[in-house]
Amino acid sequence: MSRWEVFKQDAAGKPHQAVGSVHAADPQHALVTAAHVFARRPAAHSLWVTRAAAIYSRTAEELAAESQAAGAPTEGQAPVSFEVFCKSTHRRSMTFVEHVATIEAATPAAALALAGAATSDDSRALAWWVVPTAAITASAPTDAASWFDPAKDKTYKQQALYGAAPSRAAKRGAG
């Protein structure tokens, strides 16, 4: 059993966001348990899973420290595709990083440099994850109807149905 990070896309056109992890034997097992654990409540459109060990992770502080040192040589390495994720706020409790770019590069560090360059005007970047595209397993679009759509009718799975946890809007109204 290894640990898999799970990325959930709430709707078409929205970015995949890291929502947590599952332990599973293989990618298909990880996808199915991820659907139970993270998509039994609305809403989901697609799931990605990747072995936690496949993630290249850097915080803004680590990147700043590393920029003092010379980058590893990448010449001679064929570029491959990487998915780049970024955490840009501390205000979200249910998600960590979200997908920001797909980048061709020789190494994860090179992909990050390219991604960082592309978004250098965004000083809010707190942490980055880089994952080889080939290391990601995605749910099939044809599965959405049986995996994700039924949850939309299941309001009894939402805390709001029970009145015990007022919604954010209600809290704001009361405050």
Dist CA 94 CA 12 (whole Å): 19
Write out the E strands in 17-164.
Answer: 17-24, 46-51, 56-59, 80-87, 98-105, 127-132, 137-138
**3 binds other proteins, rule: CB under 8 A:** no
CB of 40 to other proteins, least distance (A): 5
**143 binds other proteins, rule: CB under 8 A:** yes
Judge whether 21 and 6 are in contact, CB under 8 Å.
yes
- Residue 120 or 146 with smaller CB distance to other proteins: 146
Tokens of 88: 């840009």
- Residue 11 or 145 with smaller CB distance to other proteins: 145
Beta bridge partners of 61: none
Please report, as residue ranges, which positions from 90 to 119 form the binding site for other proteins (by CB under 8 A).
Answer: none
Report the residue from 154, 158, 161, 166 that binds other proteins according to the rule CB under 8 A: 154
Write out the E strands in the chain.
Answer: 2-9, 17-24, 46-51, 56-59, 80-87, 98-105, 127-132, 137-138
The binding track of 39-58 with respect to other proteins, each residue x by CB under 8 A or -, is: -x------------------
Q: By CB under 8 A, which span of 60-68, 108-116, 123-131, 140-148 interacts with other proteins?
A: 140-148
**136 binds other proteins, rule: CB under 8 A:** no
Residue 175 DSSP class: -
Residue 6 DSSP class: E
Report the residue from 36, 92, 152, 171 that binds other proteins according to the rule CB under 8 A: 36
Give the C-alpha distances (Å, rounded to integers) separating 140 from 67, 94, 143. Answer: 39, 24, 5
Least Cα distance to 42 among 158, 142, 138, 139 occurs for: 158
Report the residue from 7, 9, 18, 22 that binds other proteins according to the rule CB under 8 A: 22
Q: By CB under 8 A, which span of 17-25, 46-54, 98-106, 112-120 interacts with other proteins?
A: 17-25
Give me the residues that bind other proteins (CB under 8 A), please.
1, 22-26, 28-29, 32-33, 35-37, 40, 143, 145-147, 149-150, 153-154, 157
